[in-house]
Amino acid sequence: MKDSIAENRVNRRDLLVGTGALTGGAILASAGFSGAAAASGAPVKAQLPGFDAAAGEYVLPPLPYAYDALEPSIDAQTMQLHHDIHHAGYVRGLNTALTRLAEMRASGDFGLVKHWSRQAAFAGSGHFLHTVFWTNMAPAGDGGGGEPSSELAESLTESFGSVDAFRGQFSAAARSVEGSGWGILAYEPVSARMQVLQAEKHQNLGQWGVVPLLVLDVWEHAYYLNYQNRRGDYVNAFWNIVNWQNVAERLSEASR
Ligand SMILES: [Fe+2]
């Protein structure tokens, strides 16, 4: 059982690269890579449909089928508006947010970091999730619908008990998302299993699709005994104990 999950893990990486899920692009952005880095020979992942490594910008990937290809399940006008207007807006928003954040790093003035971090989370999650979403669908009878392959069915059964049980939970989760959001089947690397999640909106406050490399716990339980309300002192002290080697290893693993 474990072997098939491990194989799926590899297959998943291939799939993500092939379909343009933006793990790599997001990592490149968060790690400060850019088109210049690509030109200088820095270790940059193969170009993905949602990210133009040469330009150092996110781009709107084309739909992998015609606007009307998913009818009658989803009509052509909805697809056109959704992709050309809404998704394109996320791409623009993400590029703008990351440009503003780069300007802050250059100037040292981080006064608006909260605002632009929120914008990056909102637009980034929108871009990454939509890029996956388009490739998660195909015309009925031409790759769309039917049943999962026996290999995927086995993995779903390992995680959820059965394919039907997964489908039931996924449908219920998607139906009951409060307000705007997503139903999401996600791979959870700690246990090497899959989970079904709901995302209310999608910007609170992470980017779906990124891989954490360096995290700092700023819940009060992490510092209050020593620092009380002086969170800034705790954050400053963190840099005295950060394990850069571990960060480098995580970046290497995630961007392979
Ligand atoms: Fe959407």
Tell me the domains of the chain and their CATH numbers: 2-211 (no CATH), 212-256 (3.55.40.20)
Q: Residue 1: CA atoms inside 13 Å, Cβ hemisphere, count?
A: 10
Q: What is the reported pLDDT for 24?
A: 36
**How confident is the model at residue 190, as a pLDDT?**
86
Q: Strand, helix or coil at 193?
A: strand
Q: State in Å: Cα 130 to ligand 1 middle.
A: 6
Q: Take residue 192 and report the two structure tokens written for it.
A: 């090497």
For 53-109, what is each residue's pLDDT tens digit? 899 999 999 999 999 999 999 999 999 999 999 999 999 999 999 999 999 999 999
Distance CA 53, CA 59 (A): 10
Measured in Å, residue 182 CA sits from the centre of ligand 1 at 9
**Ligand 1 centre and the CA of 33: distance in Å?**
28
State the distance from the centre of ligand 1 to the C-alpha of 82, rounded, in angstroms: 6
State in Å: Cα 92 to ligand 1 middle.
15
Provide the token pair at 137. Answer: 């669908």
* Per-residue model confidence (pLDDT) at position 205: 62
How confident is the model at residue 13, as a pLDDT?
38
Q: Is the pLDDT of residue 239 over 50?
A: yes
Check pLDDT > 90 for residue 44.
no
- 139 pLDDT band, cuts 50/70/90, is very high
pLDDT score recorded for residue 22:
34
How close is the Cα of 7 to the center of ligand 1, in Å?
Answer: 31
User: Regarding beta strands 181-188 and 193-200, do their DSSP bridges make them parallel or antiparallel, or are they unpaired?
Assistant: antiparallel
pLDDT at 38 exceeding the cut of 80:
no
pTM for the complete prediction? 0.76
